[in-house]
Amino acid sequence: MSTLWSSWLLMVVAYDFRERRIPNGLVLAGAVLGLGALVANLQPFGLGWSAALGGAVVGFGVLLMFYAAGVMGAADVKVAGVLGLWVGASPLLPIWLLASVLAGVHSLMWVALQRWPVLPQLANMLSAADTSPGVAERPIRRQRHVPLAAYLAIATLLWMAAGGRTGF
């Protein structure tokens, strides 16, 4: 089951870096896998129903506040809910902190390359500029330059590699 979970996390990384969005079907697949693992008693991190559902509520609920403030996309919130379903609530804080550091580095690199255009291809890759209709008219705070869901997935993979302990 952890191979499926790792594969799902890698798909989140790929989609978010490439598209700056996560399809709802992919989020739903992660949730169904998590619930299926609970039903089949194959939960890779030893969680029971209450710990898993509590983690989902914490993951979704905390990041929902950031979405409401307009600083995060809806997919980031949904992915955090699925992460909580899989890992529970206690690992979420270190996962969020590491993901935030990675996203901060991404942001600093993007800003630096906007001001110092030495590598325009890298700047374009970091922003993954969306050319779909209406994007240019979006307020700058609603444009998606930082793939936070990808960084949440990467931080979770690192948490798993560290043995799935609460701290790294």
Q: What's the pLDDT at 129? A: 52
Q: What's the pLDDT at 132? A: 47
Give the residue from 25, 162, 141, 22 showing the smallest Cα distance to 80: 22
Name 80's Cβ contacts closer than 8 Å, sequence gap at least 6.
59, 60, 62, 63, 92, 96, 152
Question: What does the pLDDT average to over 2-17?
Answer: 93
Q: Which residue has the higher pLDDT, 145 or 96?
A: 96
pLDDT at 137 over 70: no
Q: How many CB atoms lie within 10 A of CB 28?
A: 12
The answer to whether the predicted template modeling score (pTM) of the entire model surpasses 0.85 is no
pLDDT, tens only, 15-70: 998 888 899 999 999 999 999 999 999 999 999 999 999 999 999 999 999 999 98
pLDDT, tens only, 99-110: 999 999 988 887
